Structure 1
Amino acid sequence: MHIKDTAHQALAELGYPEQKVKTAQARQISATLYRALPDHHIDSVFELCEQLLESREWMLSLIAFDWAFRVKKQYTPNTFEVFERWLLEYVTDWYDCDDFCTHAFGELIVQYPQLIDKTHAWAKHDNFAVRRAVAVILIYPLNKGKYPQNAPLNAADLLFNDEHDLVQKGYGWLLKVLSKTSPYEVIDYLKAHHKEMPRVAFRYALEKLDNQIKIELMSL
């Protein structure tokens, strides 16, 4: 049976596609299907991931990105080429961008932080979800405390004038996560750019700051 048919069969037991399947349920199915795979070598798994992604169904993409994360111990710098191709070809909205970048693709950056420079070109891509990835790919490294020091603010600079609200929210989210460990770095950035910064990004960025600082920044 083709892997897409196998996945569909497992999802159908939960009523898919007529009934909405929760992300947590899909991840449980993903784990079960992954354990049943005869070969867990990264090349074999990525080939199956590609078949799932080609369906362009969110539930199957979720499984594909989950499997890609499960082989993280086999990543090499060359994995970037595969992941970038998937991003450019299959990621079309904020939810698949976030799922991919806050797990598998973010883990790759944790392992090989020098690869972050290759993401900068995405800031000029026509697809807003690809542009959003410039920021979102750093969320996982930030949460792990393993990221290139200047990368978050560089990402914010690259996306600063983007007109899409979901890109603005993406780098605002990045700054918000950064503020949990480096609040003064974010405060200084917001103070320096408050006049030009889109308010959506600005408000996202200051959400986790001290209340008094938030009031001060919002009054600028």
Structure 2
Amino acid sequence: MSTFNKIVESLALYADTKKDKKSLEKFFQVYSGGYGEGDKFIGVSVPNQRKISNQFFKETSPDDIQNLLNSEFHEHRLTSLLILVKQYQKSKKFEEREKIALLYLNNIDRVNGWDLVDSSAQHIVGPYVMETAKFDILDELAESNHLWKQRVSIIATFYLIRQGHYIHTLRISEKLVNHKHDLIHKAVGWMLREVGNRSLKDELPFLNKYAQTMPRTMLRYAIEKFEPELRDKYLTMGQRK
């Protein structure tokens, strides 16, 4: 039996096709007009997907990953990404890490959910662009006019933030500051907040420039951890539209 089939069968053992499936479909907006329209779930919790990814990551081949990414089921794709993250983190050779990163980037259309992005971009794309200095990858994704690629572009910078590099988050945030989608508002606001948690002097100039025009949700996320007086200042600025 192929590893792909082993993973699919293992996921099926944890599937709850009644309760979890319905709640997941509602949560991820798979209904008509929702951002997850058309996605399908079998009802497997993330902890159980992590358990399976830890069990099989050593034997999972690129072909197995490709087959999982091509699946119509959300949990198959997420498990494949959790495996890729594990493989990337455990790899000691740059050539192996690059193959994983390129497999990810070449299949980024299948990283088509905010949880898929958030579970993988900061652990694969972030360290890859840092190691190779190919930061233009982030710009290309941000400028793609593709929701999930754009979310990858900003969430990937979380790794860079943790390394003390904030300039890339601020640059990508500037490209996305007028985005129309709530999922980008939340992602950009979140990353700006992470910058501010470490260096207010880097976050505040961005807010001084854009607080009056940036989406309200983005602003609220960005200032969530501020002291009340400073938070109120920027909320007031955000009302002057």
TM-score (norm 1): 0.85
RMSD: 2.1
Using the TM superposition, name which of 5-14 and 159-168 deviates more.
5-14
Post-superposition Cα deviations, 1:113-132, rounded to whole Å, max 9, x if no partner, equal x1221221122324211111
The correspondence of residues 180-191 of structure 1 with structure 2, limited to 5 A, is: 180-191=197-208
**Is 2:85 the counterpart of 1:57?**
no
Query: Structure 2 residue aligned with 1:192, among 179, 192, 209?
Result: 209
Give the equivalent residue in structure 1 for 2:102: 81
Query: 1:194 offset after TM fit, Å?
Result: 1.5
Q: Following the alignment from structure 1 to structure 2, what is the Cα–Cα distance between the partners of residues 13 and 83?
A: 27
Give the equivalent residue in structure 2 for 1:129: 148
Give the equivalent residue in structure 2 for 1:41: none
Q: Following the alignment from structure 2 to structure 1, what is the Cα–Cα distance between the partners of residues 57 and 211?
A: 47
The correspondence of residues 1-220 of structure 1 with structure 2, limited to 5 A, is: 1-18=1-18, 19=20, 20-35=43-58, 37=59, 45-72=61-88, 73=91, 74-76=93-95, 78-79=98-99, 80-87=101-108, 89-112=109-132, 114-143=133-162, 145-147=163-165, 149-220=166-237
Query: 1:70 offset after TM fit, Å?
Result: 2.1
Q: Percent identity?
A: 19
Q: Following the alignment from structure 2 to structure 1, what is the Cα–Cα distance between the partners of residues 139 and 50?
A: 30
Q: Following the alignment from structure 1 to structure 2, what is the Cα–Cα distance between the partners of residues 167 and 192?
A: 19
Paired amino acid for 2:150: R
TM-score (norm 2): 0.78
Query: 1:2 offset after TM fit, Å?
Result: 3.2
The count of aligned residue pairs is: 209
Query: 1:109 offset after TM fit, Å?
Result: 3.2
Structure 1 unmatched ranges of 5 or more: 38-43
Is 1:109–1:141's contact at 8 Å kept on the other side of the alignment?
A: no
Larger RCO, structures 1/2 (Cα 8 Å, 6+ apart): 1
For the structure 1 residues 205 and 24, does the alpha-carbon distance in structure 2 shift closer, same or farther, using more than 3 Å as the test? same
Please state whether the residue corresponding to 1:190 is helix, strand or coil. Answer: helix
Is 1:53–1:64's contact at 8 Å kept on the other side of the alignment?
A: yes
Paired amino acid for 2:62: F
Paired amino acid for 2:9: Q
Q: Following the alignment from structure 2 to structure 1, what is the Cα–Cα distance between the partners of residues 160 and 72?
A: 27
Query: 1:11 offset after TM fit, Å?
Result: 1.7
Is 2:157–2:169's contact at 8 Å kept on the other side of the alignment?
A: yes
For the structure 1 residues 3 and 54, does the alpha-carbon distance in structure 2 shift closer, same or farther, using more than 3 Å as the test? farther
Q: Following the alignment from structure 2 to structure 1, what is the Cα–Cα distance between the partners of residues 156 and 105?
A: 11
Query: 1:135 offset after TM fit, Å?
Result: 0.6
Please state whether the residue corresponding to 1:161 is helix, strand or coil. Answer: coil
Query: 1:81 offset after TM fit, Å?
Result: 3.1
Q: Following the alignment from structure 1 to structure 2, what is the Cα–Cα distance between the partners of residues 48 and 75?
A: 21
Q: Following the alignment from structure 1 to structure 2, what is the Cα–Cα distance between the partners of residues 45 and 106?
A: 22
Is 1:66–1:104's contact at 8 Å kept on the other side of the alignment?
A: no
Is 2:98–2:128's contact at 8 Å kept on the other side of the alignment?
A: no
Query: 1:17 offset after TM fit, Å?
Result: 4.5
